[in-house]
């Protein structure tokens, strides 16, 4: 009958009719977890099928259960526990790609990334790409909760981008990857002439600055690898406060505030750990991205002004770009 739950052949015959009720979700939980308190890939696929049938009409209990079950499948049941592998990331992307993502599906994606100690680059870039589609189409109810004119970055879009960047930090220093940086540049290029919310230029400068100046192994001692990138991307910290101050705050949070298993060390930053220049390969990538379209967007100007303040050693090509942004 129209609107009914898939039948016995699909494995979920417990519930009789949509929308799911809290009582029905409890029955579904018993059906999925059974006696072994685990969920299989087949059951995970059926849950995604059920999510497409439910759409946006499911109750809060359904959304919570769906997120919990998918996180258990991809994060808590894998070995080593908590490390999301490439195969699991590919499986999740396959479930989400090719159709408008539901709010429950996006919430499950964020939950998986949030609980994972390691997030493959392709999954983080895919999540940012979902927000990019919201920016380009304006159809963002499922991800940002708001609809707006296409081709403009709103404050809600920036919040979604920041949320993805926060949870995408894998174990280690928490740098913004090239894949993530490219998606952010794609958004900046596509909306260069739009009236974007000013917070986008700020986030763009922070994120790309992180990618260029805080790459893994370049400026972070082993003892500092417990830090994440939230401090760098924190909108409450002004860009003018400087990278050195940001690193010091991150170190303070890592030693004695956020991590109890790491004892404080004197002068954890040491000498020469403040990023001073953009490496040649990163500079070539940056110049190519900026020169891909004529003129400078507001986001690119914010980034170049930031680099001009923070880099002690500006290569000629970067010095020229910084001068254009002045």
Query: pTM value?
Result: 0.79
If pLDDT is split at 50, 70 and 90, which confidence band does 17 have? low
Q: Which of 188, 177, 205, 211 is nearest to 279 (CA)?
A: 211
Q: What is the pLDDT of residues 108-145, one digit of tens each?
A: 999 999 999 888 989 999 999 999 999 999 999 999 99
* pLDDT tens digits, one per residue of 167-186: 886 544 468 899 999 999 99
Cα dihedral sign for 84, 90, 95, 100? positive
**pLDDT higher than threshold 60 for residue 235:** no
Residue with tokens 């050693």: 313
For the segment 16-40, the average pLDDT, to the nearest whole number, is 83
- Is a pLDDT exceeding 90 seen at residue 322? yes
CB atoms within 10 A of CB 279: 14
Backbone phi and psi for residue 3, each to the nearest 5 degrees, phi listed first:
80, 10
> Measuring CA to CA, which residue among 17, 24, 114 is closest to residue 65?
24
């Amino acid at each position: 009958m129209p609107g009914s739950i898939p039948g016995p052949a699909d494995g979920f015959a417990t519930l009789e009719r949509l929308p799911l009720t809290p009582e029905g979700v409890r029955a579904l939980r018993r059906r999925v977890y059974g006696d072994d308190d685990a969920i299989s890939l087949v059951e995970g696929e059926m849950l995604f099928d059920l999510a497409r049938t439910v759409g946006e009409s499911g109750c809060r209990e359904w959304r919570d259960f769906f997120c919990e079950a998918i996180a258990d499948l991809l994060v808590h049941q894998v070995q080593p526990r908590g490390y999301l592998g490439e195969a699991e990331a590919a499986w999740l992307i396959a479930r989400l790609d090719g159709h408008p993502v539901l709010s429950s599906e996006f919430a499950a994606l964020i939950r998986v990334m949030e609980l994972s100690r390691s997030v493959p680059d392709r999954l983080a870039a895919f999540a940012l790409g979902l927000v990019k589609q919201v920016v380009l189409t304006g159809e963002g109810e499922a991800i940002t909760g708001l609809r707006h004119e296409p081709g403009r970055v709103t404050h809600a879009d920036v919040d979604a981008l920041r949320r993805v960047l926060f949870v995408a930090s894998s174990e280690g220093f928490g740098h913004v990857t090239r894949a993530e940086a490219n998606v952010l540049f794609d958004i900046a290029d596509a909306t260069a002439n739009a009236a974007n919310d000013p917070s986008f230029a700020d986030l763009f400068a922070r994120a790309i600055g992180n990618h260029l100046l805080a790459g893994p192994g370049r400026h972070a001692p082993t003892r500092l690898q417990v830090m994440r990138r939230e401090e760098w991307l924190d909108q409450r910290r002004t860009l003018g406060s400087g990278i050195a101050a940001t690193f010091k705050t991150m170190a303070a949070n890592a030693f004695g505030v956020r991590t109890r298993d790491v004892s404080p060390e004197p002068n954890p930053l040491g000498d020469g750990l403040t990023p001073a220049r953009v490496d040649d390969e990163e500079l070539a990538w940056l110049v190519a991205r900026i020169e891909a379209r004529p003129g400078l967007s507001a986001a690119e100007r914010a980034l170049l002004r930031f680099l001009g303040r923070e880099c002690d050693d500006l290569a000629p090509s970067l010095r020229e770009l910084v001068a254009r942004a002045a």
